[in-house]
Structure 1
Amino acid sequence: MKLKPWVRFAVPVVAALSVAVLAQPAQAANRIAWRPTILPLPPGGGSGFLTGSDGKGEYTGSFTVNGRQSVVSWRDGRPVVRGVPDGYEAALAEDENPAGVVVGTAHDYDTRISRAYTLDATGFHVKEVPAGYDYVYGVAINTRGDVLGRAMRFGGGTETDAAVLWRAEGGAPVLVPSTRETYYARDLDEDGSILFDSGDSSALWKDGVVRHLSSGPAAQSWGLAVRNGVVVGMRIYGGVEQAVRWASPTAEPVGLAGGARALSVNKVGLTAGLVPNPSGPVIVGNAIAWRATTPGEVRAPSGYSTFEASVVADDGSFAGFATNDSRDFGGVPVVWRLTP
């Protein structure tokens, strides 16, 4: 069963852009190379996405299992079906922290109800919807256990959004209403800072204080992930998508050679992203890696034309998927490891 389109969040504005065609970087012989391992699917398993890792060898994602979108984790290379919360039809995993706590969204297709959840060794824990909102989606979790979500309210023909922060120490959830500065919540840093799209740029919010990221000479830039103050993402420069890195919230952005988008960064600054597509009209191509700003090579899984590494684990591995179909619906689970 393919993922229903309403359960996946598209990149606002950016996904519709037309960009100039760039050649993929040459596969230099001296580049650091990460080599792929295709993980086995569980019985009845189909396509999906790896979206998180505990950095200790566990990888988690959302895969179709016997026709149902379910949370699946791989431990010691073997799949463990975690399933779906009781009373829901589907569950998507979005992130996992070093303690192995997963955050994501549970859906009921008939009622179109969506709820954020956490998943740990004791099972699923569905979050309450903040008062005044209709739905809430899980987005990210940091090391200490803070959880980021997006809440939505519908009424009078309009849609109202807010970021929701459930702090690890408990208490009422913190709501950050959507404004131009806090338009779309992307990720959550270790100190509780929330990375937002902010019009044609990005900003970090913490405890009511907003810090705008510089776009440098580019007209538009977006941070897509943050870790320990390092932000990675993309910018439009000269009409072309370019992967970019901010070494700190106050730093000027630095282009990442050979990349169109940077998608994920780990605790030591290892980054995963996508190269430009040389053939068009699809904007992005396959996976690439950087150590700080030095590019590395993410090798293709045998037999697959499209592959994406959207998770950088703290152990230095990458996780994602490979497919010969549209990347919109994922593919087989793949882990890339650094090997001599």
Structure 2
Amino acid sequence: MKLKSWVRFAAPVVAVLSVAVLAQPAQAANRMAWRPTVLPLPPGGSSGFLTGSDGKGEYTGTFTINGRQSVVSWRNGQPVLRGVPSGYEAALAEDENPAGVIVGTAHDYDSMISRAYTLDANGFHVKDVPAGYDYVYGVAINTRGDVLGRAMKFNGGTGSDAAVLWRAEGGAPVLVPSTPDMYYVRDLDEDGTLLFDSNRSSALWKDGVVRHLSPSPSVQGWGLAIRNGVVVGTRNYGGVDQAVRWASPDAPAVGLAGGAMALSVNQVGLTAGLVPNPSGPSIVGNAIAWRTTTPGEVRAPSGYSTFEASVAADDGSLAGFATNDWRDYGGVPVVWRLAP
């Protein structure tokens, strides 16, 4: 359903981008163009990220409001402060499904407690930490309401973390402990399939059965998001990182022109990602989008040099942030819509 904002830094297991990739999307003026709208912040608001959408015009993310990381949604272009669960110091939004249910993580820094939550029209619902673990992060939610988390232990080490799947129909959470071949859960598909990092190609888990994506033998590939069986991510080919798409787990990886990594894919294959960055301390460039495999132009918001679209919403829009300092933790909220 989603992928978290890249925040200009590498996430676990994804290789550092080679500066040898210099190409920006060619002939951008002749391509599909997504035009930006910078959304207003709530009073007291500063930088953050848009990380989810219901695909019907609502966008949600994490923004610092009066010094506190809080959940904020935008409806009809206006911000609605959703806040923080009672008893916690901060709340980070990670994903949103078509019903408008949000999943994320609530933090209490003094007690070092982190708990997954869902947020709906009735408020926050904080989930219990699975037995044997010390804290759990919210990761993703699918259309039917399955929730994905990542449980961890303070002591670290092999086997210290696990994927947690709370099924929409209820019951005890399903735990999928990490292994050397399946060790960091990334995303959740509509049918309950989990996408993991692996020491080979990325792994897919469903009801106890594990499959691997199929890059060519000389290629390392990592899936970063999954939707309706389509996986998008990045691969390293000859020392160069490239955005990539798998039409199915058994299909060959197809490179996405002009991109270094793909971050999010919607229900019909619209994909949001990042172009390579040819120089400087940031390892990735600005936003790009593809309709299936056809690249388009994501235009810069006026007055901003750095911009990231990490959400491909089901209504065909993109969402993310813009800033003038890549070292910022996020920036102003931005939505892009396809130009007529």
Flag the structure with more relative contact order, 1 or 2, with Cα contacts below 8 A and sequence separation at least 6: 2
Say which SS state the counterpart of residue 244 (structure 2) adopts. Answer: strand
Task: Say if 1:253 and 1:290 are closer, same or farther in 2 by CA, change over 3 A.
Answer: same
Matches within 5 A, 1:1-340: 11-14=11-14, 16=16, 18-155=18-155, 160-326=160-326, 329-340=329-340
1:3 equivalent in structure 2: none
How far has the Cα of 1:23 moved from its partner? 2.4
The change in CA–CA distance for 1:170 and 1:327 in structure 2 (over 3 A counts) is farther
RMSD, aligned α-carbons: 1.8
- The Cα of 1:283 is off from its aligned counterpart by 2.0
Structure 2 Cα separation of the partners of residues 66 and 282 of structure 1: 28
| Shift >6 Å, 4+ stretches | 156-159
Shift of 1:180: 2.3
Q: Cα offset for 1:248? A: 0.7
TM-score norm. by structure 1 comes to 0.94
Q: How many residues align?
A: 334
Q: Is the 8 A contact 1:84 1:90 kept in 2?
A: yes
CA distance in 2, matches of 1:261, 1:224: 9
Name structure 1 gaps, 5 residues minimum.
Answer: 1-6
Q: By how many angstroms is 1:30 displaced? A: 1.8
Q: 1:14 to 1:201 in 2, by over 3 A?
A: same
Contact 1:58–1:76 under 8 Å retained in 2: yes
**Once the two structures are superposed, what CA deviation does each residue of 1:248-295 show, in whole Å capped at 9, x if it has no partner?**
111010000000000000000000000001224422100000011000
What letter matches 2:96 in structure 1?
Answer: E
Structure 1 window deviating more from structure 2 (281-290 vs 120-129): it is 281-290
1:54-101 CA distance string (max 9 Å, x none): 000000000000000000000000000000000000000000000000
Contact 1:306 1:327 in 2 (8 A): no
Measured in 2, the distance between the counterparts of 1:213 and 1:143 equals 23
Give % identity. 85
Distance 1:175 1:156, change over 3 A: closer
CA contact (8 A) 1:219 1:237 kept: yes
**In 2 relative to 1, CA 66–27 (structure 1 residues): closer, same or farther, beyond 3 Å?**
farther
Superposition deviation, residue 216 in structure 1 = 1.8
Q: What displacement does 1:187 show?
A: 0.3
Structure 2 Cα separation of the partners of residues 307 and 329 of structure 1: 12
> Shift in Å at residue 21 of structure 1?
3.7
Question: 1:210 is matched by which residue type in structure 2?
Answer: V
The amino acid that maps onto 1:46 is S
Quote the Cα distance in structure 2 between the aligned partners of 1:137 and 1:271: 25
Q: What code does the residue aligned with 2:54 have?
A: D
Once residues 18 and 245 of structure 1 are traced to their aligned partners in structure 2, the CA distance between those partners, rounded to angstroms, is 19
The more displaced of 100-109 and 174-183 is 174-183
TM-score (norm 2): 0.94
Distance apart, 1:219 and its partner CA: 2.9
Segments of 5+ residues of structure 2 without an aligned counterpart are 1-6
Where 1:43 maps in the other structure, the secondary structure is: coil
